[in-house]
Structure 1
Amino acid sequence: MPAHDLPAARLTIHLDAAVVWHHRPAYAELVHRAHRAGLAGASVFRGVTGFGAGDPRRPAHGPKGPCAVVIVDDEPRLRDFLSRAADVLGETSAVAVLDRVRVRAPRACG
């Protein structure tokens, strides 16, 4: 089946997997909110090691290490999501990167 490229954007939020928000991992809250907002897709990738701006408030228990939440959708929708997720991100040392991408998608039949 032929495929075509679609313009889109990718929001990548880098944070420590140990960061919690209201007794829930912050990365899980972000994915939950992305799903609830109807965004096209979200995934969490756990890193083996990494470094960056440290967050002295991270808990001493639970999973530690870097992780990235990657969300793909239209740029305006991602910007809106990022502003609505500010309460979660404001308590972390998270870094958000928004870049334009092209999504390779199968062409619809019909």
Structure 2
Amino acid sequence: MTEFCTGQLLRIFVGERDAWHGRPLHFAIVDLLKKHGVAGASVFRGIEGFGSHHEIHVAKVFSFGSDLPILIEVVDTEEKIATLVPLIDGMVSEGAMTLERIEYRRYLPRNVER
């Protein structure tokens, strides 16, 4: 079993309607992360939240024009995260990012090199 590694957790908070070159921003960010070989990333869609404009966005059953909060969590080494933050900064026009030191362990399929 692999040991825990010291790394960082980067959280990126954006809106569901945010876009990058005509496509959803969270898709573009995940593609960037994959291209740079990040250890892991997940995208979560919030059910309620507000940002800098203090307008509350809520998931409603029959609401088609919502702009729900999107959270992208990224786990990797401090060095890898440091190279990605400026790239993501250039993509996000409104939102927030947080950074935490963490201990993490990766579980990989047996046929993948570590």
TM-score (norm: length of structure 2): 0.76
The percent identity for this pair of structures is 27
The equivalent residue for 1:39 is 38
1:69 aligns with 2:72: yes
User: Which letter does structure 1 place at the counterpart of 2:45?
Assistant: R
Question: Where in structure 1 are there 5+ consecutive unaligned residues?
Answer: 56-60
C-alpha distance after superposition, 1:29-74 (max 9, x if no partner) = 000000001111111000000112139xxxxx86521010111100
In structure 2, how many angstroms separate the alpha carbons of the residues matched to 1:41 and 1:26? 18
SS in 2 for 1:27: helix
1:63 and 1:28 map into 2 onto residues whose CA distance is: 17
Kept in 2, the 8 Å contact 1:12–1:96? The answer is yes
Q: Give the aligned partner of residue 98 of structure 2.
A: 97
Q: What is the aligned length?
A: 100
CA contact (8 A) 2:9 2:73 kept: yes
Q: Distance in 2 between matches of 1:105 and 1:32?
A: 20
Specify the SS of the correspondent of 1:39.
coil
Contact 1:13–1:96 (CA under 8 A) maintained in structure 2? yes
CA contact (8 A) 2:40 2:76 kept: yes
After the TM superposition, which parts of structure 1 deviate over 4 Å for at least 4 consecutive aligned residues? Answer: none
Q: Secondary structure at the match of 1:98?
A: strand
Unmatched runs of 5 consecutive residues or more in structure 2? 55-63
